[in-house]
Amino acid sequence: MLSKYKKVMLVDDNEVDLKINSKIISISKLFDETILCQSGEEALSYLSKHVDDVANLPDFILLDIQMPEMDGFEFLEIYKKFPASVTDKCLIAILSSTLDFGDIKKAEANPHVIKLLKKPLFPQELEKLLHKYFA
Amino acid sequence: MNAPTVRVLYIDDEENNLHAFKAGFRRQYEIYTAISAAEGLKILENIPVHVIIADQKMPQTTGVEFFKSIINTYPDPIRILLTGYTDIEALADAINHGDIYRYITKPWNDLELHNSIKNAYDAYKTKIDLRNKIVELEKTNDELNRFIYSISHELRAPLVSAMGIVNLVKMEGLFNSSGEYWGLIETCSNKLDYYIQKTLQYYKNNKTVAKHTSVDFSKLINELIELYSYSDRDTHFHVEIKQEVPFYGDVFRIEVILGNLISNAIKYQKEDEKNKKVDINVNVTPTVVEITIADNGMGILNEHLEKIFTQFFKSKINHGSGLGLFIVKEALNKINGKISVSSNTTDGTTFKITIPNVK
């Protein structure tokens, strides 16, 4: 079966989670390709590099909140300055283990964030979300 | 233990009084004297004085004027005013504006003045102790906040990774590959996660100030059912909601209360029951919301009913954490809600909650 949505980008400083989540995504065959980024900076530089290259931009970004140096919210601050060709294509969901009420509120209030998913990632939950936004 | 050194500054324009004071009190206190307010101020700049005694009638600056002038710069020393019998106006002024602790009439009585200085020093100490305690408390509170925040991240993150690995093991069909070990790891991880979540809920309930927003019960309850029945699809929910008027309340605590009750209703079903069900009824009026959550689960023994809202109460048969219902009760207390329960082991359990509509 062909995957419906082409590229997903995972942004997480935690190598273990990056490994787990990319494996979960590959087993559930939700995407053709997974782009792994270990920091917000790495993700931003990927996006800047492919800013005019829509085919290589991710359709979907799963973003962690707690990261050293640049956290998820700081990433979003810079992300929103990208041209619409990028921000319209890449939908963002937060993927975090946070239970902090402030973090949750802040994530849900961000206009670029379609949903806050909680770790551990459940493929059914992700599929439901994708179905809603890509159908 | 030696008696603490009490530093007293005495300001008077009559040199004789200064001498007399020194002679009378130098054994008990460390005494500084000044012939004018200006001189007194110089001493204050260099010496941390505990008690200041000032004569009211002085040329240039009166005692009250002096006290007023140092209210902001030297707020800590305790002030005693020395005044003649006739100075009612000065007294009223001093009490109203000079923040004085006592006034002593002239000529002073040694014992009376001695007692006043002693009491003044006690007041000084109490004030400083209290301030130190507040600083200490604020620091502890701050640390606690950081600690709780780190529980919700640092402590939980690796646990959630482990839970992710278990999911992966399931997806790869390896869950039963090592006997029951993976299942045991899953149970332990879930239990630990549950404790972390409950601890945070309890803490947040205690700390957070109630915030009132409009609550849509239909949306809230369906979200909660979706969330808690995720791992257990056997239980059927029948939800009936009558909300014709808007409801305003603290959505965080209401979510905690309903979440705990709904998850309990799912968790404590009878294992062999074919038709596991939970009925939820919500009725919103302009003054309150009444919510009933009724299950046909295993029920609660009569002798346990009294104790189910106590912290860490667990029955022997059902392995709860002893926190869920305790948190429900605590959260209801914060928002002036009420709860009652009726239960028996044949029909199951019914919780009735009433929460005031704050608008």
**Per-residue pLDDT, B270:** 87
In a domain, B50, yes or no: yes
User: Between A17, A24, A99, which is nearest B167 by CB?
Assistant: A24
Domain boundary among B108, B137, B163: B108
Convert B212-276 into a string of H (helix), E (strand) and C (coil).
EEECCHHHHHHHHHHHHCCCCCCCEEEEEEEECCCCEEEHHHHHHHHHHHHHHHHHCCCCCCCCC
Q: Which two tokens stand for residue A132?
A: 């809603």
Q: Enumerate the residues of chain B whose CB falls inside 8 A of the CB of residue A101.
A: 204, 208, 252
- Please tell me whether residues B191 and B229 are part of one structural domain: no
Taking all residues of chain B, what is their mean pLDDT, rounded to a whole number? 89
Of the pLDDT bands very low, low, confident and very high (cuts 50, 70, 90), residue A2 is very low
In a domain, B277, yes or no: yes
Please tell me the CATH superfamily of domain A5-134, with its number: Response regulator (3.40.50.2300)
- Please tell me whether residues B168 and B289 are part of one structural domain: no
Tell me the backbone φ, ψ of residue B280, rounded to 5 degrees: -120, 125
Domain enclosing residue B99, as ranges: 7-108
**How distant is the Cα of B241 from the closest Cα of chain A, in angstroms?**
26
In a 10 Å sphere around its CB, with 0-12 CB exposed, 13-18 middle and 19+ buried, how is residue B48 labelled? exposed
**Per-residue pLDDT, B318:** 65
Task: Give the residue ranges of DSSP H helices in A11-122.
Answer: 15-27, 40-49, 72-79, 84-87, 101-109
When comparing pLDDT for B106 and A64, which is higher? A64
Split into its structural domains, chain B has a count of 3
- Please tell me whether residues B286 and B350 are part of one structural domain: yes
Whether B233 shows a pLDDT value over 90: the answer reads no
Show the CA angle centred on residue A133, arms to residues A31 and A60, nearest 5°.
40
Nearest residue on chain B to A99, judged by CA atoms?
B152
In angstroms, the CA B349 to CA B325 distance is 13
Of the pLDDT bands very low, low, confident and very high (cuts 50, 70, 90), residue A135 is low
**Per-residue pLDDT, B174:** 93
3-state helix, strand and coil shares in percent for chain A, rounded to the nearest 5: 45, 20, 35
In a domain, B116, yes or no: no
Quick: pLDDT tens for B33-70. 999 999 999 999 999 999 999 999 899 998 988 998 99
In a domain, B139, yes or no: no
Whether B211 shows a pLDDT value over 70: the answer reads yes
ipTM for this prediction: 0.84
Nearest residue on chain A to B208, judged by CA atoms?
A101
Q: Is B336 left (phi over 0), alpha (psi -120 to 50) or beta?
A: left
CATH code at B288?
3.30.565.10
Domain boundary among B160, B190, B207: B207
In a domain, B233, yes or no: yes
- Of how many residues is chain B composed? 359
Which residues of A have a CB under 8 Å from any CB of B?
14, 16-17, 20-21, 23-24, 27-28, 66, 97-101, 119-123
In a domain, B131, yes or no: no
Which value, to the nearest 10 degrees, does the dihedral of the CA atoms of residues B40, B42, B45, B46 take?
A: -100
- Please tell me whether residues B217 and B351 are part of one structural domain: yes
Give the domain ranges of chain A: 5-134
In a domain, B117, yes or no: no
In a domain, B236, yes or no: yes
